[in-house]
Structure 1
Amino acid sequence: MAAALEAGGKPVYSDSYKGVVLGLLVTAYTLNFIDRTIIATIGQAIKDDLKITDTQLGLLGGLYFALLYTLLGIPIARLAERFNRVSIISAAILIWSGFTALCGTATSFAQLAAYRFGVGFGEAGLSPPAHSLLSDYFEPKKRATALSVYSFGIPLGTMIGAVAGGWLAQNFSWRIAFMIVGAPGILIAIAMKLLIKEPPRGHSEPDQAPASPEDVAVVAPAAPPFSFFGELKELASVAGTLFGKWPVVNMVLGVTIASFGSYGAGQFVPPYFARAFGDPSGHASWTWLHFLADPNHPYLLDLAKIGMITGIVGGISSGIGTLLGGVITDRMSKRSPRWYSLTPAIGLAIATPIYIAAYLQPSWQTAALILLIPGIFHYTYLGPTFGVVQNMVPTRRRATATALLFFFLNLIALGGGPPFTGWVIDHFAQFNFNHPGGHGMLASISAMLGGDGGTISFATACPGGKAPVGAALEVVDHCKASLKAATQSGIIVSVCFYLWAAFHYLLGSFGLAKALSKARTDRGEAA
């Protein structure tokens, strides 16, 4: 058997072991998104405490996290093409978990921003090597499903972060919330290092024949020697695949634009529920038993209940969609590979009007019930897109492909989405404050584009979105009403980006079968 291994044989990994690997990576990605997105749930508490604008809140959840996250993703991915991917992931988890805990010690906007840069620095080391690992553990026909399961960490982490963050912020403080959610990463990093083995590159490609048990050490083929120009050539080759092929570039644009709207809207969904349906005292007196007894009563929400509602509703909906996206696509792609792109196109187009309907509801009960539906269609885009990217490149370029995709996606979507939505909300709040009374969203946009935003500064009149202590009751109500309507409008504007993304996915379906077939041929696989 040893001779067979030295001759190039590959280890056999059982389905149960691959399940353990996938489970640990999903757990790591879940922690990744808890630490990344918890700021959305506790954002209102941060805004009240530090007296910041929604644009600044968007920067904390977006650009200040995304900048190092995107810039470091590519060099870390190049390391992952050459060195042990499990070690890179374990170190990354320790770094981002530590900086998340440090966020709880921040006493100013600048300090919190600096720690968010650190969180982004650590989180850059997860997905590129993780995608590469999963592509070596799972063969092409199961790859979209595996990557969809991995992507399940997004809704799961968002849900847990919302529920836990809201409860901790309500019962302790937003600082304690940061500190506690950062701690579990240490245990997961150790478990990853002890339990996950580094598979040979290209292990699960069709031309590789497993020959030995999973517990036998295998010497992987040596990586090509390092050179600066060689690295640039590798990056150029991957960029040519992602941005030089019609179906792939349209899918990349689709995932980027959809994520831009998703990150932007998602950052302000918990603040919207707080502003539209929240208890001004911050301590809603009702319990869930009261609600079940009389669900039509307009009960007010505190941070814990907001986290529970937005986390569970969003988590269930988007979680189902994320898993279904991969499963449906892997099945439908047997008929035609075009379904890798058609599935997201159809899902996003269906989800958009349902989201808009939800945020136009006058009660949080109705809004929450409607929000159980659209995520099932919306999040079908993740697994198919990641699967196409992995299937389009050679085995030693897969981490790089993910990093380059994430560089483009996250710098624009994660870096720009939340600040854009916050900026839109700030401008709507300014307009609403200067123009009391009901205004249609389109009419308000038209007036603002015409330069009629108003002369009174909303940020000055309502610091942190609230009237100053001792202000007249009408000023208190006006500040609240202006911000509530502005937040609703800002979220709806962001949700409309899904239709734009759906159009690109539709365009990407043309020529996709031919592109995937050529990629297999170039790798020496049977079409």
Structure 2
Amino acid sequence: MVDLAPQSPSHASVAVTSPLRRYYVLALLTVIYGLNFLDRTVFNVLIEPIKKEFKLSDTTMGLVAGFGFVLFYSLLGIPIARLADRMNRRNIVAAAFAFWSAMTFLCGVAQNVTSLTLARIGVGIGESAGTPASQSMISDMFDKDERPRALGIFAIGTYLGVFLGYFIGGFINQHYGWRAAFFTAGLPGIAIAAVLWLTVSEPIRGSSVEKIKREALAPTLTFLGSQKTFLIVLVGFCLTTYTNYATSAWIPPFLARVHHLSSAEIGTYAGTFKGLFGMAGTLVGGLVVARIGRDDDRWKLWAPAITSGLAGPVFMVCMLTENFTIMVAALAATSFLLGFHLGPIFAIAQTVARPAMRALASAIILLTATCFGQGLGPLVVGMINDAISPQVGVNAVRYSLLSASATTMLGALLFVWAARFIRSDIARAAE
């Protein structure tokens, strides 16, 4: 049975060593991460009804889906992560979770695109604080070789949120309207934030074999900038994140416009074949890389490179085929392959950083990739849609999404390059 009150540091350090305790905290943080993506994804399912009600273009919807979220997410993420490297991370995650859930609820009362964008900015502010602190906590509960598996489990939250967002958004929108979908997505978060606050205590920073060395911001950034693995993976992850966010935002309109599915049908197909298969890929990626990476750390990047590279041509088939069955099979395979790399990449960011730098390292990876991927992915696809739709009509969305095939293959090449430096960079982080 987990303890129901905050603990002293000595008590917490004992609790964290218990497998039951560690996996309870991991499971709860994974659920919170899943609701993070639920609150992002539900918007994507609602693009069509919001566009019609407010009479907006695809470019505007891409801006609200992307930059409306990442604007303050990016600006505030680094300072909050710096606080998480020094302050109680449990408190930061709980407060941020309650805030972004409340802002998701407020999306449902928006009366125009301005108020909707402001609410989306609020969601971004809250979510900028949650993930880096969560990953830092997990990395202090699991050692170097366990982290790909632990952070692979945590990364399941990405596709758990996609799965729930598509299903809830599609079903609730069809039967009760798009505003009710936002209300349903936002409400549970406040209660679960209270559960985190009451049942989880702050873990001790650094495992028993890792030294904690407090450093100022400038030396921390200098060290991370000198880690070639970190820099190359950062660029590669930006590219694969473009693929993830572009597809998450525009697969629902693609299914509606090209394959003529209803809102509930979009929730079912997108939730199942993108959400569930993405969850499976993320779990398998964490487990496989944790196993094969023990003997050679380079496999922690080689394996994600292989699957990210394969995702490109498979997604081309998904977009270009006229056969509905082949399309959903290719969507499922793409989601599995894209999900595979998330846990290992999260683990790399933590492992090539020193213990007292982990929240900041996580924030740099996540915020830069999210700013690039979610900021540009939905927007670029929306702009291409508006530009070519006079010539190709509803098929514009399928051609514009092909850009997502190119970015994941480029990201794979960078992961291969980064693998050349990973062993020396891990050694430097342990000094």
Q: TM-score, normalised by structure 2?
A: 0.94
- Tell me which of 203, 218, 226 is aligned to 1:244: 226
Cα distance in 2 for residues equivalent to 1:495 and 1:207: 40
The aligned residue for residue 259 of structure 1 is 241
Query: Following TM superposition, by how much is the alpha carbon of 1:134 offset from its aligned partner in structure 2, in angstroms?
Result: 0.3
Q: Does 1:15 align with 2:25?
A: no
Cα distance in 1 for residues equivalent to 2:223 and 2:318: 39
The aligned residue for residue 28 of structure 2 is 24
Contact 2:48/2:253 (8 A) holds in 1: yes
Contact 1:274/1:302 (8 A) holds in 2: yes
Contact 2:227/2:352 (8 A) holds in 1: no
Structure 2: gaps spanning 5 or more residues: 1-7
Deviations 1:261-282 (A, max 9, x none): 221122100000000122xxxx
Cα distance in 1 for residues equivalent to 2:369 and 2:262: 34
Contact 2:128/2:367 (8 A) holds in 1: no
The aligned residue for residue 370 of structure 1 is 330
Contact 2:312/2:406 (8 A) holds in 1: yes
Cα distance in 2 for residues equivalent to 1:317 and 1:7: 41
Larger fraction in helix: 2
The aligned residue for residue 470 of structure 1 is none
- Tell me which of 400, 415, 418 is aligned to 1:490: 400
Q: Does 1:380 align with 2:340?
A: yes
Q: Does 1:512 align with 2:426?
A: no
- Tell me which of 245, 250, 258 is aligned to 1:268: 250
Query: Following TM superposition, by how much is the alpha carbon of 1:336 offset from its aligned partner in structure 2, in angstroms?
Result: 1.1
Contact 1:265/1:421 (8 A) holds in 2: no
Cα distance in 2 for residues equivalent to 1:325 and 1:88: 28
Give the 3 Å change call, closer, same or farther, for CA 78–245 of structure 1 in structure 2: closer
Query: Following TM superposition, by how much is the alpha carbon of 1:244 offset from its aligned partner in structure 2, in angstroms?
Result: 3.1
Query: Following TM superposition, by how much is the alpha carbon of 1:517 offset from its aligned partner in structure 2, in angstroms?
Result: 2.0
Cα distance in 1 for residues equivalent to 2:305 and 2:125: 32
Query: Following TM superposition, by how much is the alpha carbon of 1:328 offset from its aligned partner in structure 2, in angstroms?
Result: 1.3
Q: TM-score, normalised by structure 1?
A: 0.77
Query: Which runs of structure 2 are paired with 1:32-431 in the superposition (5 Å)?
Result: 32-202=36-206, 204-206=207-209, 233-234=216-217, 236-278=218-260, 301-431=261-391
Cα distance in 1 for residues equivalent to 2:328 and 2:281: 17
Give the 3 Å change call, closer, same or farther, for CA 22–6 of structure 1 in structure 2: closer
Contact 2:312/2:404 (8 A) holds in 1: no
SS of equivalent to 2:294: coil
Query: Following TM superposition, by how much is the alpha carbon of 1:6 offset from its aligned partner in structure 2, in angstroms?
Result: 9.7
Cα distance in 1 for residues equivalent to 2:249 and 2:339: 16
- Pick which of 187-196 and 256-265 moved more: 256-265
Cα distance in 1 for residues equivalent to 2:197 and 2:108: 27
Cα distance in 1 for residues equivalent to 2:10 and 2:38: 44
SS of equivalent to 1:371: helix
Contact 2:305/2:412 (8 A) holds in 1: yes
Cα distance in 2 for residues equivalent to 1:22 and 1:257: 27
Give the 3 Å change call, closer, same or farther, for CA 47–513 of structure 1 in structure 2: same
Cα distance in 1 for residues equivalent to 2:233 and 2:348: 9
Cα distance in 2 for residues equivalent to 1:8 and 1:392: 29
The aligned residue for residue 503 of structure 1 is 413
Letter in structure 2 aligned against 1:108: N
Contact 1:81/1:396 (8 A) holds in 2: yes
Give the 3 Å change call, closer, same or farther, for CA 168–28 of structure 1 in structure 2: same
The aligned residue for residue 4 of structure 2 is none
Deviations 1:157-202 (A, max 9, x none): 0011001100011001111101111000011100000111111111
Give the 3 Å change call, closer, same or farther, for CA 363–303 of structure 1 in structure 2: farther
Cα distance in 2 for residues equivalent to 1:9 and 1:313: 40
Query: Following TM superposition, by how much is the alpha carbon of 1:326 offset from its aligned partner in structure 2, in angstroms?
Result: 1.5
Cα distance in 2 for residues equivalent to 1:7 and 1:31: 31
Give the 3 Å change call, closer, same or farther, for CA 489–207 of structure 1 in structure 2: closer
Contact 2:12/2:204 (8 A) holds in 1: no
Seq. identity, %: 31
The aligned residue for residue 5 of structure 2 is none
Cα distance in 2 for residues equivalent to 1:10 and 1:357: 50
Query: Following TM superposition, by how much is the alpha carbon of 1:8 offset from its aligned partner in structure 2, in angstroms?
Result: 12
Give the 3 Å change call, closer, same or farther, for CA 313–86 of structure 1 in structure 2: same
Letter in structure 2 aligned against 1:206: V
Letter in structure 1 aligned against 2:296: S
Letter in structure 2 aligned against 1:109: V
Contact 1:30/1:154 (8 A) holds in 2: yes
Give the 3 Å change call, closer, same or farther, for CA 395–181 of structure 1 in structure 2: same
Corresponding residue pairs, total: 423
The aligned residue for residue 477 of structure 1 is none
Letter in structure 2 aligned against 1:517: A
Cα distance in 2 for residues equivalent to 1:307 and 1:267: 13
Letter in structure 1 aligned against 2:338: H
Contact 2:9/2:204 (8 A) holds in 1: no
Cα distance in 1 for residues equivalent to 2:10 and 2:266: 59
Cα distance in 2 for residues equivalent to 1:9 and 1:166: 42
Cα distance in 2 for residues equivalent to 1:92 and 1:392: 27
Contact 1:169/1:176 (8 A) holds in 2: yes
Letter in structure 1 aligned against 2:227: K
Give the 3 Å change call, closer, same or farther, for CA 6–267 of structure 1 in structure 2: closer
Cα distance in 2 for residues equivalent to 1:207 and 1:170: 52
- Pick which of 238-247 and 267-276 moved more: 238-247
Contact 2:244/2:338 (8 A) holds in 1: no
Give the 3 Å change call, closer, same or farther, for CA 137–42 of structure 1 in structure 2: same
Give the 3 Å change call, closer, same or farther, for CA 177–7 of structure 1 in structure 2: closer
Give the 3 Å change call, closer, same or farther, for CA 51–516 of structure 1 in structure 2: same
Contact 2:210/2:355 (8 A) holds in 1: no
Cα distance in 2 for residues equivalent to 1:325 and 1:405: 19
Structure 1: gaps spanning 5 or more residues: 209-220, 225-229, 279-300, 433-481, 523-527
